[in-house]
């Protein structure tokens, strides 16, 4: 009996457990639909506590927690004109305005959508959901994940903005800088608007919710691989096809397929050009030759003109020294001008070959860039590709009949062209220059620099003093065209003559006086003393005596002191003469002298006796 008592409860428990296992669990939704809440609230229909506990357990296991700000996945169960009914497996279905699905006009019943539980229950007990907020939250999660994992994302380019484009990535507006669209400069941004492109998230500012994406970063990896492959195969002299990527004033950058090279402006054309855009244009395809590169091949020097035959090699053999050639002035320097006689073939016209004049001037005085000229070939070196030309050879040499045109002693008029410290260059005609030494400018003026006497461009009358035909030199004089005033001044200011003048300048050892525009004289300090012992001052007028006059050296020396000193000397001489005459009258006779002598002797003897 005891064993039966102990086994009966165990059998009951086993039966209950077996019954629970075989009895299917009730669906919480079915339970809610069949449950009569009014009878339960009025107490007519009772529910076992175990049933309520079981229901609560089922709800907890099957229904989601409708906490705020949680993103869950739901299913569209119904669509109205304004709203979408979404089942998120909660106690009630949620409602979302169709405005939040404007980006997806093909939304239909059964579609899975992400939603955010915005309000658990509104006033009517309805669960309020938000698809837009859910998209933003999930979008930031995806963007952050893409940035951390360096994943490629797809975005829709919405519009242009300052400095770049606005891209929709997972519903977030990201910024695409203009420099990150492509590896090459972009000139037309509008061509990208409305397109879907792949991007890499390169920067996220969590504080300001800013996202920066790059399409360039995606293709740079491929370009780097291509670049390494291309660089590894580069050789000097190799010809490659490239595309003009950028044009600057000094050259052209060529894209060789991920590797950039530079064609310097001097390697674009055999002819001289002012700017590379005269030869190439952007996006133009070109064949170029590799001229050089550095050790790591990061700087590649390319050439375009080297693919064509050098113009000097194509220059006709008919051109020889002495021939006349025509061309255009392409460059001017101080020393000369370059004349392009054929495309890529230039000759130098040195400034000395532009005029027969031996007085050199700047090339700009004779020619201008763009002038079309005829010149004579003076030298021709095909091996070194050099040619010298001359312009003056097209006209007769003016020195051919120089002796008949400009004999010594002949007088002419010329134009002052230049100064030196020692003289003035005067042009008598084109190709005939002569030098006037500073000493031959004036008979009377003491000139320290020619600019004190004449100016460039002045016309001077000159006389030919010397003529060196072989040396092509003319010595000219200006003062020789007038009478030498020193010839007449030699008599007027002869030694001993006295003239009145004023002190014009005080110098270290004396003073300068001017008798007229031509004659100035030097007064030594000891000759500036006046009769009262004082010295003459600047501006003081007095009489001066000429004590030296040298016509050859144009030297005149005068003295004021000599005037009254000479009078004193005359007075002294007169006094001496008068005194001598008086002495002669008072001189004693011989008898008187003997008497005086005898008296002196007597006096002396008397003294001795004493």
Q: What is the pLDDT of residue 378?
A: 93
Q: HSE on the CB side for 271, CA within 13 Å?
A: 15
**Burial degree of 110 (CB within 10 A; 0-12, 13-18, 19+):** exposed
Enter the CATH code of domain 71-136.
Answer: 2.40.50.140
**Burial degree of 494 (CB within 10 A; 0-12, 13-18, 19+):** exposed
**Burial degree of 345 (CB within 10 A; 0-12, 13-18, 19+):** buried
Fold entry, domain 150-219: OB fold (Dihydrolipoamide Acetyltransferase, E2P) (2.40.50)
- State the maximum Cα–Cα separation within the chain, in Å, rounded to a whole number: 225
Fold entry, domain 324-394: OB fold (Dihydrolipoamide Acetyltransferase, E2P) (2.40.50)
Examine the pLDDT at 61 and tell me if it is beyond 70.
no
Q: What are phi and psi of 303, to 5 degrees?
A: -135, 145
Q: What is the pLDDT of residue 280?
A: 92
Examine the pLDDT at 358 and tell me if it is beyond 80.
no
Q: What is the pLDDT of residue 522?
A: 93
Q: For residue range 304-319, list pLDDT tens digits in order.
A: 988 888 888 777 777 8
Enter the CATH code of domain 234-307.
Answer: 2.40.50.140
Name the class of domain 405-481: mainly beta
pTM value > 0.85: no
Q: For residue range 195-244, list pLDDT tens digits in order.
A: 888 888 888 887 777 889 988 888 777 777 777 777 777 888 889 899 99
Q: What is the pLDDT of residue 16?
A: 40
Q: What is the pLDDT of residue 3?
A: 42
Please, which pLDDT band fits residue 265 given cuts at 50, 70 and 90?
very high
Please, which pLDDT band fits residue 82 given cuts at 50, 70 and 90?
confident
Sequence-ordered list of residues with C-beta below 8 angstroms from that of 566, at least 6 positions apart, any chain: 545
pLDDT over 70, % of the chain: 79
Q: What CATH architecture applies to the domain 486-610?
A: Beta Barrel (2.40)
Over the chain, what is the mean pLDDT? Answer: 80
Q: For residue range 509-561, list pLDDT tens digits in order.
A: 899 998 887 788 999 998 888 888 888 898 989 989 988 988 777 789 999 88
43 token code pair: 């107490």
Examine the pLDDT at 382 and tell me if it is beyond 90.
no
Average pLDDT over residues 584-592: 59
For the chain, count helices (H), then strands (E). 10, 30
Examine the pLDDT at 571 and tell me if it is beyond 80.
no
Q: What is the pLDDT of residue 244?
A: 93
Q: What are phi and psi of 403, to 5 degrees?
A: -65, -30
CA 25 vs CA 18, 22, 46: distances in Å:
13, 9, 20
Examine the pLDDT at 248 and tell me if it is beyond 90.
yes
> Fold identical between 234-307 and 324-394?
yes
Q: HSE on the CB side for 21, CA within 13 Å?
A: 6
Written in H, E and C, the secondary structure of 402-431 is: HHHHCCCCCEEEEEEEEECCCEEEEEEECC
Examine the pLDDT at 150 and tell me if it is beyond 70.
yes
Question: What is the spatial distance between Cα 472 and Cα 24, in angstroms, rounded to a whole number?
Answer: 133
Please, which pLDDT band fits residue 163 given cuts at 50, 70 and 90?
confident
Q: Does residue 423 contact residue 437 with C-beta atoms inside 8 Å? A: yes
Q: For residue range 316-341, list pLDDT tens digits in order.
A: 777 889 889 999 998 898 889 999 88
Domain boundaries, the chain: 71-136, 150-219, 234-307, 324-394, 405-481, 486-610
């Amino acid at each position: 009996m005891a064993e039966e008592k102990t086994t009966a409860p165990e059998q009951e428990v086993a039966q209950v457990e077996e019954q629970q296992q075989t009895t299917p669990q009730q669906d919480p939704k079915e339970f809610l639909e069949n449950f009569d809440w009014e009878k339960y609230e009025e107490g007519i229909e009772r529910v076992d506590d175990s049933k309520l506990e079981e229901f609560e357990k089922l709800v907890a296991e099957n229904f989601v927690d409708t906490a705020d700000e949680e993103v869950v996945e739901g299913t569209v169960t119904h669509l109205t004109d304004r709203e979408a009914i979404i089942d998120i497996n909660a106690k009630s279905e949620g409602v979302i305005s169709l405005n939040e699905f404007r980006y997806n006009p093909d939304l239909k019943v059964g579609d899975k959508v992400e939603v955010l539980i915005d309000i658990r229950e509104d006033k009517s007990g309805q669960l309020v959901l938000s698809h837009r907020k859910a998209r933003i939250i999930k979008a930031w999660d995806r963007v952050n994940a893409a940035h951390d994992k360096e994943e490629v994302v797809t975005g829709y380019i919405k519009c242009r903005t300052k400095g770049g484009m606005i891209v929709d990535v997972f519903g977030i507006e990201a910024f695409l800088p203009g420099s990150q669209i492509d590896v090459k400069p972009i000139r037309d941004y509008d061509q990208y608007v409305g397109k879907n492109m792949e991007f890499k998230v390169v920067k996220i500012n969590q504080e300001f919710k800013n996202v920066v994406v790059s399409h360039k970063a995606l293709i740079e990896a491929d370009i780097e691989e291509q670049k390494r492959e291309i660089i590894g195969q580069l050789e000097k002299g190799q010809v490659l096809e490239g595309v003009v990527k950028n044009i600057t004033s000094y050259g052209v950058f060529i894209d060789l397929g991920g590797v950039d090279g530079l064609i310097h402006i001097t390697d674009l054309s055999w002819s001289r050009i002012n700017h590379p855009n005269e030869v190439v244009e952007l996006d133009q395809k070109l064949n170029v030759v590799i001229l050089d590169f550095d050790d790591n091949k990061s700087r590649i020097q390319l050439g375009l003109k080297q693919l064509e035959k050098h113009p000097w090699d194509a220059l006709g053999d008919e051109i020889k020294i002495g021939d006349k050639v025509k061309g255009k002035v392409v460059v001017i320097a101080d020393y000369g001008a370059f004349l392009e006689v054929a495309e890529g073939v230039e000759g130098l016209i040195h400034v000395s070959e532009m005029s027969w004049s031996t007085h050199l001037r700047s090339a700009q005085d004779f020619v201008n860039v763009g002038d079309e000229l005829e010149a004579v070939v003076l030298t021709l070196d095909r091996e070194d590709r050099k040619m010298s030309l001359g312009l003056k050879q097209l006209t007769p040499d003016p020195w051919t009949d120089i002796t008949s045109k400009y004999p010594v002693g002949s007088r002419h008029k010329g134009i002052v062209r230049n100064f030196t410290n020692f003289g003035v260059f005067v042009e008598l005609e084109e190709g005939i220059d002569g030098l006037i030494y500073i000493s031959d400018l004036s008979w009377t003026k003491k000139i320290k620099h020619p600019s004190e006497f004449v100016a460039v461009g002045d016309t001077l009358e000159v006389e030919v003093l010397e003529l060196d035909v072989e040396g092509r030199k003319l010595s000219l004089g200006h003062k020789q065209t007038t009478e030498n005033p020193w010839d007449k001044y030699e008599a007027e200011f002869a030694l001993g003559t006295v003239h009145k003048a004023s002190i014009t300048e005080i110098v270290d050892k004396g003073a300068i006086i001017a008798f007229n525009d031509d004659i100035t004289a030097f007064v030594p300090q000891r000759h500036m003393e006046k009769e009262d012992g004082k010295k003459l001052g600047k501006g003081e007028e007095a009489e001066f005596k000429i004590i030296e006059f040298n016509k050859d050296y144009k030297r005149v020396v005068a003295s004021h002191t000599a005037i009254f000193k000479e009078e004193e000397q005359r007075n002294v001489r007169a006094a001496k003469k008068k005194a001598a005459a008086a002495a002669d009258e008072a001189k004693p006779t011989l008898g008187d002298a003997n008497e005086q002598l005898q008296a002196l002797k007597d006096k002396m003897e008397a003294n001795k006796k004493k």
